[in-house]
Structures are given as C-alpha cells and as structure tokens.
Chain A
Amino acid sequence: MILAGGLLLLTVGMGALLAPRLSPANPQEIRLKEALLPPSPGHPLGTDQLGRDVLSRMLYGARISLTVGFVAIGLATVLGVLIGAAAGYAGGWLDILLMRIVDILLCFPTLFLILAAVAFLEPGFAPIIGIIGATGWMGVARLVRAEVLSLKERDFILAAKVIGASDTRILGRHLIPNAMAPVLVSATLGVGAAILIESALSFLGIGIQPPMPSWGNILAEGKATLGIAWWLTLIPGIAIFWVVLGCNLLGEGLRQRWKPQ
C-alpha cells in the first residue's frame, strides 16, 4: 500500500518537477485557431477553448496543486503540533481554553470555514495556502494533545524532569518526536484533502485565478464544453482522483505499519 501510494504520488511529483521539460507548449499561451482540438500527437491531451495545450496546463497545474497540498498541510501540521503539545503539556486553563477553541472551529464544516475566510481575502495562490493551513490544524492539535497527555506520564519523561531538563527540551526532544507517527499519517491523508479543497475552490471560481492553471479551474472551464470536449473534464478529474488516491493509500499504509492495532 505504501508502495502503491508512493508510486502514484511520485509520478505526479515527477510530472510537476519536470513540467518545463515535459510540456509541449507554454501553458498560458492562447492560440485561438487551435481551440478545442481532441487529443492528437501534437497535443497529447487536446486543447481547451482558448487553444491552450491541456497537457502543459495539467503539468503546471500539478505544481500548483501539489504545492498547495504540501505547504498548506505543512502549515497546518506545525500549527497543530505546537498548539496540541502546548495544551497537552501545560494542562489546566490553557488546555481548556485551547481545546474549546478547537471544539468551536471543528463545529464548522471546513469548506464553509474556508468560504467565509475567502470572502475577506483576495483569492490567489498564497491566501489559499494560508486559509487551508489555518483551517486544517485542529485535528492534528487534538491528536498531539492526546499523545502528549499519555506520554508525559511515562517514566522516561519523569527521568528527564529529574535530571533537570527544561520544558522546551522535554517537549522538543522527547514528547513531540514520540508523538509524530500519527501526525505523519494524518498529514499524508491531509495532503489529499487539501488538494481536493483547492480544486473545489478553484472550480467554484474563488481559488487560483485564471490564467494560472490549476486542476480545479481546468475542470471548471471544461464544464462549459461537457458535451463536445470530454478531455477537458475527464483529464483533470482523473488527475485529482489519482493524487488523492495516492495520498490515501500512502497514509493508510503508514498507519498500518506504525500502529498495527
């Protein structure tokens, strides 16, 4: 499972990395005379309504989607680990306060939270990453807090305290590293979810703004030509499926390896 998931992600990752070499054309170049061509040797995945090469757009779109996925979840994970560890280790009123905030934020479906946030910001690459990151840390925080709560009662933490280790050292050297396994699993699953959210936002027109290609907005533009240009919706659809499946397989595999229960 790890292998299969890893392979799926690797193919997309390589595609994104090598986009400038693999692309047959500039993804933003409009050639109206070549609009809506079906897949052919010149345009392996066809062209869109403005005559742009879909393969090139997909490859550059992969860069956007993967960057959004990984950076946003990186951000969410860092936030979640810090907040969760602080709550779990300090306990008392800080724990209560932070966990109630988490509870409140978890009450809202993530997509609605994001839609509300987007209304106040200009849509674009960085804001989307920020918003997905800022609304995705609550699960991680709970996970880390629970780990820290059980770990901090263990003997090796007691031993560290006895020899006079500082709180920062105990958290940084002992608690957080030991709590990382479930966090990595949830982050891997989260990447898939983040890519899906980015696609959904771009599909709704409030994510990545044209002409920057993103899988979501390629799909959104394709829906206008559903009956006559199947490749414009099918291809980004398959790509999103592919990468989300990759993340889920990898995450599931890691979970089984590290936590056999």
Chain B
Amino acid sequence: MVSLSNHERSDARSPFDRLRVNGNVTRFSSFVLALLLSASFIIPFLIGLAAAEEIDIPVIGDALVSASIGEPSTLIPILASDSASAEVSGLLFNGLVKYDPDLSLVGDLAERWEIRDGGLEILFFLRKGVRWHDGVPFTASDVQFTYQRLIDPSVPTPYRGDFERIASLEVVDDTTVRVRYKEPFAPALSSWGMGILPKHLLENQNLTNTPFKERPVGTGPFIFHRWIRGDRIELKANPDYFEGRPYLNWAVIRIIPDQATIFLELQARGIDMTGLTPLQFTRMTQIPRFTEAFQKFCYPSFGYTYLGYNLRDPKFQDKRVRQALNLAINKQEILQGVLYGLGAEATGPFPQESWAYDPGVHPAPYDPGQAKALLAEAGWRDTDGDGILDRDGRPFEFTILTNQGNLARELTAQIIQQQLSRVGIRVKIRILEWAALLHQFIDKHRFEAILLGWGLSRDPDPFDIWHSSKTGEGEFNFIGYSNPEVDRLLLEGRANFDQEKRRAIYWKLHRILYEEQPVCFLYVSDSLPVVHRRFQQVEVSPLGLGYNLIHWYVPVSRQRYQLS
C-alpha cells in the first residue's frame, strides 16, 4: 500500500503531554510538573533507580503519546491515501496478511492461505474467534463486503487497481474465502494487507459520509476512543486483541502541525515519540539531558521525495526540458544543506533498500551548462535579456506547491528556486496546509509543480503511481504521466510471480523513468524517530519502528499515565 507522505517518516508514531483521560488529569500530573521544573537532575536519578530494579517482565499500563504533523484525513483504511491516515488506521484495523520483521508475508486476520492454480486462486482460511471492537464476530462476509466497496466506482479509493484484477470472490463458509484472479497478479497476496471493514456497521452506507467515519470500529490492537479535530486522537488498548492485549493502555496521537512545536513539546515531555528533523538529530539532541531521556533511531525510510511536474502543462511536455531541470537541480547540495547528509540521492521510483532498485542507474551530475543547452534546444532562450528564458514571448516560470510544517521541503523548495534561477527559470513557492494541498490542488490537478514524497509498500509494484489509467481525480498518477512502454512494463511486472523476472522488468522501468524524468527524483531521507527511554522492547526492523507496538511496555516504577 503506497501513501502520500507529508513527512519523511512513515512509521514513527510519537510523543507526549500531560495526558487527560476522560477529562481527568492523571494523578501523576503534579509529579510530572515537578519533574519538568527540575528535569535536568531528576531524570538521571530516576533512570538510575529503574536500572537498579531491572524489571524484565512486561506489565500493563501507561500510554504512548506520539505526535503527527498532519491530521489524518480519514480513518477508513480503504480511503486513506496519506501517511497520517494510514498510520492511525493501521492501529485500528487489520488486513488478511501483514509483513513480519524479515519482510515475508504472514497471516493477520487470515490464519493461513493456499495459493492454487499457478497463482490464479488464493484460498484464505480466516482466524476463528476474532471479534470487532463492538463484539460482533468477524467473518468471511466482512472480507467480501470490503472487496465490494473497493471495486465500487462510487467509492473514492486509490487502491481499486489492485482489486480490479479479481475475477470473483466467493465466501466458502464463515472462515474461508476463495479469491480468483483474471490473470496472474504478483502483488495479489500483499494487496490483502488492506484493512478489512465491518459489514454489519457499513452495509448500505455511503463510505464518504457515514457516522462510522467519526467512530471507526475495527479488529486491531487499539480501539478508537475519540478524535478531537485539530488536537488529538485517543485510542485505548483492545483487551481481546487476537495477538494478545497491548501492554500500553493508551495510544494517543497528538496533531501538531509544526516540527518546531513538536520538538518543544518533546523537550517539555509532552510527547513520548516523534520523528526528528535532520537538524534536530545532528545538532539539537546531542546533549546528555536529551539522550538520557530519549532513544534515537536512524534508518533509511522506504520512500522518496520528488519534484513532480504537471505533465498536462505544455511547458513540461518536452522531455528535454525535464532532463534539463534534473541537470540544473543539485541534489548533493540539498542532501548536505537540508538533510545534513542523513539520506541518499534518489534515482528512481524505488528506494535503495528495495530489490527492484537498479543499482546501475547513476544519477546525472549537476551540470547547469548542459541544462541550458538542452533548454535552448527545446526553444527556451533569453531573447529579451531579462535573465529569464522565454519561448513564444512567454517567460519560463512556474510555482512549486508543497505542504506546510515540513521545513525540509520548504528549504528544498528555496534551494531549487535558487538553482533554477541560475539557468534562467523563475520559480515561485507556495506553501499550503496538508489537507488543502491534497484535496484542493493535487486531487483536482491544479498545480504546475509539487514537492512531495511517496511512502512505498514493500511489494515494489508502482502501478498506481505511473500507469496512464490512474490519472483520475483522487488517484495517484496526478502528474498525468502516460507512456505505453511504461504501462506495458507495469502490467508485466505485476503479472509475474518470479522475483528474478520481476526484477528485470522493474530495473528496466527504473531506467526508463530516470531517463524520461516525469518527476525529478530528489532524495531518500533517513527516518529519525525518537522514543522515550521508559518504553521497553522498542525494536527497529526493516519495517521501521512500531511494528511490535503491542509488545512495548513500561516498568511499573516508570509509568507516567494512569488509567482513570
């Protein structure tokens, strides 16, 4: 499942404040306050105390308060197209399958499955005894219902493509589902990581406008408690979760649309977990006071940041122009200046960690001279001597849109603006609030260029992002890219089960997309999450942090928030 990311952080759910539970400040609040006032010397002392106790037995209690820079636009998993929505709905819902830490697919709501008929048929055997958060049993008809919603043209889901390959879905009995595909479809199994919806609550309802939106009911490790718009989402532990009750009583996601404010909150102990910016990571968190309280992590994120062009715009239809832009944008300067080296140059639609990434694609070196030559070839010359290239009397200028609150992107936009001005292109920058950017501009294709990121799924199939059939409103190919060769490779890549064959196809795709430059691939940044040290069993896997959230616990002596 891919998602638009408004923040280079696809798996950090984060940090804290004095938690209010049902309107009551926790009993510990005055203690917390004292802690704040003299945090510098009390915290090491407390840590010493806890270390002496050394309790290794997981216990129930406490809350994890994380911060999200963007407000989720929806908690219904099949509608969630942005990372903020996907992260929260991932705690509430389960798919039939999921990835385990070594990146193989394991059962989630499905206990096991059989793949038959050369991959054309999957028989899912569902877990028995799973109940929705409202107590109603989960059955095969919920899977069928979710499938019907996914292929219903009136449901605005970006994930329809994966499910349109299905010829039939049949409920064999309450715990068995038979899915038949029209043709071999490699991402078939992983596409069933999609969160399953409860039929009994959503039948005959319009998904975009149902009370369920405000009160989602899933099968996941956490139960929705409440959503205060613009402030926080509170989830409580699901005591009957089929993989075992989470040790933490609460998971609270605070919505703080600004990284600097999140960082202040982190230092004020209002947040337990968040993603840091590269500047915060390298220069503002080296002090013992911080490292004694928080554990920092650094690993490559599974996604990339890019400058996308609206290919419906005549300016960007000439490949030479896009190649020139790529030569005129110095990615190394962005990597050093914005990411402080915590990242790598992106060269295509797959991150370096993916098996689909072709290491033979070498990024073209920064070359403004060559860029100018290409632009001149495409007819862009400075004929009126104002320093700006023009063609047919119109100057080469465009506006880059990006989302608010992500300083790395704001700074990147300004560096690109200066770099492009050196080759005679005038760039304007406009920074918009995430939901407005997504719904008013991206979905409606009202942009010239956008600075955004993709958070990618583990299966590399990038069909939804690049295929020419995915250019409708709210779909992921919003740049309007269309190339018959790419379309063919995308179809071929998903029709093959042999990873070696798929690799060859995706390497070819990678090379074509780099050559064609439908977007300028900028960088893969590192994820830089921090977690408060009182949480135990915090592990990083290739899936990132938080995959084993239900196993996190806090020793009794260090618990901060009490259930009221």
| Residues on A facing B (Cβ under 8 Å) | 28-30, 32, 35, 49-51, 122-123, 205, 209-211, 221, 223-228
B284 to A29, Cβ gap below 8 A? no
Most buried by B among A224, A225, A227, A228: A224
Residue of B nearest to A211 (CB): B414
| Residues on B facing A (Cβ under 8 Å) | 258-261, 264, 277, 279, 283-284, 333, 336-337, 404, 407, 410-411, 413-415, 417-418, 428-431
B431 to A209, Cβ gap below 8 A? yes
Cα-based distance from A221 to B406 in the complex (angstroms): 11
Enumerate chain B residues within 8 angstroms of A51, measured Cβ to Cβ. 337
B431 to A228, Cβ gap below 8 A? no
**Closest chain A CB from B281 CB (angstroms):** 12
A211 to B336, Cβ gap below 8 A? no
**Closest chain A CB from B433 CB (angstroms):** 8
Enumerate chain A residues within 8 angstroms of B260, measured Cβ to Cβ. 223-224, 226
Enumerate chain A residues within 8 angstroms of B264, measured Cβ to Cβ. 226
Q: Is the interface of B mostly helix, strand, loop or mixed?
A: helix
A122 to B337, Cβ gap below 8 A? no
A225 to B279, Cβ gap below 8 A? yes
Can you list 18 pairs linking A and B with CB atoms under 8 Å apart? A30-B337, A30-B414, A30-B418, A32-B333, A32-B336, A35-B337, A49-B279, A51-B337, A122-B430, A123-B430, A209-B430, A210-B429, A210-B431, A221-B407, A224-B259, A224-B277, A226-B264, A228-B284
Enumerate chain B residues within 8 angstroms of A123, measured Cβ to Cβ. 430
> Which of B404, B411, B413 touches A49 (beta carbons < 8 Å)?
B411
Residue pairs across A and B with CB atoms within 8 Å: the count is: 52
Enumerate chain B residues within 8 angstroms of A35, measured Cβ to Cβ. 337
Enumerate chain B residues within 8 angstroms of A224, measured Cβ to Cβ. 259-260, 277, 279, 407
> Which of B261, B415, B428, B429 touches A30 (beta carbons < 8 Å)?
B415
Cα-based distance from A183 to B415 in the complex (angstroms): 45
B429 to A211, Cβ gap below 8 A? yes
8 nearest A-B residue pairs (beta carbon):
A32-B337, A223-B260, A224-B260, A30-B418, A211-B414, A205-B404, A224-B407, A227-B284
Enumerate chain A residues within 8 angstroms of B336, measured Cβ to Cβ. 32
Cα-based distance from A123 to B432 in the complex (angstroms): 10
B414 to A50, Cβ gap below 8 A? yes
**Closest chain A CB from B71 CB (angstroms):** 16
Enumerate chain B residues within 8 angstroms of A221, measured Cβ to Cβ. 407, 410
Residue of A nearest to B421 (CB): A28
Residue of B nearest to A28 (CB): B418
Residue of B nearest to A122 (CB): B430
Residue of A nearest to B264 (CB): A226
Cα-based distance from A205 to B283 in the complex (angstroms): 25
A205 and B431 in contact, given A29-B418, A224-B277, A224-B279 (Cβ under 8 angstroms) = yes
**Closest chain A CB from B255 CB (angstroms):** 16
Enumerate chain A residues within 8 angstroms of B404, measured Cβ to Cβ. 205
Enumerate chain B residues within 8 angstroms of A209, measured Cβ to Cβ. 428-431
A50 to B337, Cβ gap below 8 A? yes
> Contacts A49-B279, A211-B414 given; 9 further ones with Cβ under 8 A?
A30-B415, A32-B337, A50-B411, A51-B337, A205-B431, A209-B429, A224-B260, A226-B260, A228-B283
Cα-based distance from A112 to B410 in the complex (angstroms): 25
Cα-based distance from A122 to B428 in the complex (angstroms): 12
Enumerate chain A residues within 8 angstroms of B411, measured Cβ to Cβ. 49-50
B279 to A50, Cβ gap below 8 A? no
Cα-based distance from A209 to B430 in the complex (angstroms): 6
A210 to B414, Cβ gap below 8 A? yes
Enumerate chain B residues within 8 angstroms of A49, measured Cβ to Cβ. 279, 411
Cα-based distance from A229 to B333 in the complex (angstroms): 21
Enumerate chain B residues within 8 angstroms of A50, measured Cβ to Cβ. 337, 411, 414-415
Enumerate chain A residues within 8 angstroms of B415, measured Cβ to Cβ. 30, 32, 50
Enumerate chain A residues within 8 angstroms of B283, measured Cβ to Cβ. 228
Cα-based distance from A114 to B411 in the complex (angstroms): 26
Enumerate chain A residues within 8 angstroms of B414, measured Cβ to Cβ. 30, 50, 210-211
Enumerate chain A residues within 8 angstroms of B259, measured Cβ to Cβ. 224
Cα-based distance from A20 to B549 in the complex (angstroms): 56
Cα-based distance from A45 to B417 in the complex (angstroms): 24
Enumerate chain A residues within 8 angstroms of B430, measured Cβ to Cβ. 122-123, 209
Enumerate chain A residues within 8 angstroms of B417, measured Cβ to Cβ. 211
**Closest chain A CB from B355 CB (angstroms):** 34
Cα-based distance from A50 to B333 in the complex (angstroms): 11
